[in-house]
Every structure is written in structure tokens, then in C-alpha cells.
A = this chain, B = another copy of it.
Amino acid sequence: MSNTSSAGADDIEGSISLGPTRRPSGVWHIGSRDLPAPQDVSDELRASIVATPQPDLSSEPAVPADEQALRALVAEADAMATERLHALRDRVGATVTPDVIDGVGVFHVTPATIDPRHEDHLFVYVHGGAFVLNAGKAGAIEALVIAHRCGIRAISVDYRMAPDHPLPTPADDVTAVYRHIVSERPAATTALGGSSGGGNLSTIAVQRAVEEGTDVPGALYLGTPGNEMSEEGDTLYINRGIDRSIPRHEDFVNAVRFHADGRELNDPLVSPIYGSFEGFPPTFLVTGTRDLLLSATARTQTKIRQAGGIADLLVLEGIGHGDYGNPLNSPESRFTYSQLNKFLLHHLA
């Protein structure tokens, strides 16, 4: 919070409650503890948590450092995600149509029913997947969820990724599509955003728009954004082994290294939390008590607000990284997207 400006002259010292301190230490060793499944969550989420094996911290990292092994993992995961996309699309009667905008692949995602209030709105969606996963239609799953649940048209950006296309290509692709779209329609009626790595790239796209003088979107969605990729942030340590989606930094850092292409992980091009948050549009953020990236999300909220912006943060009990999509039929998942929709309806012109 080094850039915090004071709220004006303020000569308050001391503390509300803490007394004198004794033995200084920078690093605390936190002992083991038992963590019960949360009670004050839906039956669906609780059942899902109880049915999830506890993360095994002695296992190999989820994403391997070896390029061939990474490619094999990505191919398998993307094929499964594409199947989920097809099943979901058919279930909700949406269409997912490929196109190319300014040389970048995209998918038009059109729900069965457009809410009349969203008739003139468009959601530009940026998928997650640690900058290596979810190429092609695999990347359109959350775009489909948003389109269906909010009744809004979406365009999912199929940006190029590592290992073949490390940074800045992914952000370049997102920016190219966004810039093209807002050259043809009002930015104020256009939303931008995504989860995890998609939150990272959406944040960078807005930072670039502000820098270049391109209009920022009418609303920004950052679902547990991967805005910090280095080993910094309280919950990276606190929620280690507790987040069932990404239990450890090691589980995604190999993917990020392919993307970073030799840059330090705290470079603003890798971790946009170290970039500027001036001029950000109204932003909706969501995270949960078990999220490894709760700190990355909360720090993003703070930085947007420090710069004078609107940053609405929803924190859900029992929710790990992206768990508002796991399972999709949980009340928590419906609640998250209904809150996102409320935010879009309020802020989009």
C-alpha cells in the first residue's frame, strides 16, 4: 500500500487495542490444524467439498516444467474442457460460433434468450488457464455461463498462448480484439473480463487502454484474478493446501514461467498488480475464504479504490480459486453470476 495517499492531515497515533509488543519476527511458523467442511454454505457446495480429496502437498506440481509433458497435459485437459463446453452449450441452447477479429480468433457466444436490458450490451470474455490451457472452444465455458445466466451476448477471445506464444502475445491479442470492438460500438455498453489468468489479461488490457487513451469498458469482471504470479501475498501461504482448485503456487508457476519467457514474475507484464490502477472502470471481483488468490483479489480491490475507482468485492464462504464454477449448479455459483449481472446492469450504459 505504498502509494496510499493520506485522507488529509491526520495526527492520530497509537492503536485501538494492541498493547506493547515483545519478540520481533518477520516469518511466522504456523502449526497444523484441522479444517472442517464449512456448514454455512449450500448443500451442493458442501457435498462437493466433502467429496473432494484433500490436496496432497507431497504430489508433483499440477503443471509440469517439462515442455512435452506440459503439451500433453494441455491437450488432454483442453479436449475434456471442449466436451464440457459442447454439453453445456447443447443443454442451454446457446450457440458458439468461431470468427476472427483483427487477426485474432474469437467465439461469438449467444444465449438462447437475450435479456432485453442487455440488448445493446456485449461481454468481451477472456478465459483463464494459467496462460497455457483452454485454447479454442475450451476457453468459452465461463463465457457461456455468463451469457446464459445474464442473458447477454459474449465474445470469447481465443488468444494465442505459451509455450508457442509467450507474453506479450496473449495481452496483445486481447487488446487487439477489445480495441477493434470499441472502435465499432460504445465502450460504455461493453463489459470486459474473466477469471484467473483471464483476470490477469483483462487487467493488463485495461492498463493498456488507459495508457493508450482507448476508452475503458463500461464494467470490468475480475474473478479471482491471477494478478500476482510471484510468491507474494498472505493467502498464498495461508491457504496453501486448503484451496482445492489450486493448492499451491508450485501448481501453476511452471505454466507462468512458459508465459513469462524469462521475465521476473513480479514484472507488471506478468503480475499486473504491480502496474497502474488509475482510470479503471467499475470492477466486480469475486473470491472466497479458501482461495489461494484471495490476497491477489483483495489487493486488486484496494489498488483500484486507492486510485479512486469503484471495486465491488464479493467474498464467498468455502470457495477456493474459481470455485464459483464448481459445481455450476450450486446456489453459490448462481449467486455469483446474479451478483455479476446486477453489477453489469447497474454500470453498463
Binding site for B on A (CB under 8 A): 1-2, 4, 6-7, 10-19, 21-43, 45, 48, 50-54, 57, 80-81, 84, 87-88, 91-92, 141-142, 145, 148-149, 195, 232-235, 237-242, 244-245, 273, 289-290, 294-295, 297-299, 301-302, 305-306, 312-318, 322, 325-329, 331-335, 337-339, 341
Contact = CB atoms under 8 A, between A and B. Distances in A.
B53 A23 contact: yes
Given A28-B242, A38-B234, A329 B12 contact: yes
Contacts of A149: 7, 10, 12
Given A7-B337, A36-B27, A315-B298, A92 B12 contact: yes
Contact of A25 (B53, B141, B232, B337): B53
A241 B16 contact: no
Given A30-B33, A238-B290, A302-B316, 18 more contacts: A1-B335, A4-B331, A4-B332, A4-B334, A7-B334, A10-B149, A12-B88, A12-B145, A15-B84, A17-B245, A17-B326, A24-B50, A33-B237, A33-B240, A38-B233, A40-B232, A289-B298, A298-B317
Contact of A14 (B37, B316, B328, B332): B328
Contacts of A50: 24-26
A2 B42 contact: yes
Given A14-B88, A18-B326, A19-B80, A238 B241 contact: no
Contacts of A313: 313-315
Contact of A54 (B11, B12, B25, B52): B25
A289 B18 CA distance: 18
B54 A28 contact: yes
A11 B91 contact: yes
Copies of this protein, total: 2
Most buried by B among A14, A87, A88, A301: A14
A31 B32 CA distance: 4
Nearest to A49: B26
Contact of A31 (B21, B41, B57): B57
29 contacts: A1-B40, A2-B43, A6-B334, A7-B149, A7-B335, A10-B334, A11-B92, A12-B328, A14-B327, A18-B326, A21-B51, A21-B53, A27-B35, A29-B32, A29-B34, A29-B54, A30-B242, A31-B57, A33-B241, A40-B273, A234-B289, A238-B238, A238-B242, A238-B289, A294-B315, A302-B317, A305-B314, A313-B313, A315-B315
A13 B290 contact: no
A322 B17 CA distance: 8
A112 to B, nearest CB: 11
Contacts of A290: 234, 238
A18 B44 CA distance: 14
A34 B239 CA distance: 11
Contacts of A17: 81, 245, 322, 325-326
Contacts of A27: 34-37
Contacts of A25: 50, 53-54
Nearest to A134: B17
CB-CB nearest 8 A-B residue pairs = A16-B325, A4-B331, A7-B338, A298-B315, A234-B289, A15-B326, A28-B54, A22-B53
A283 to B, nearest CB: 13
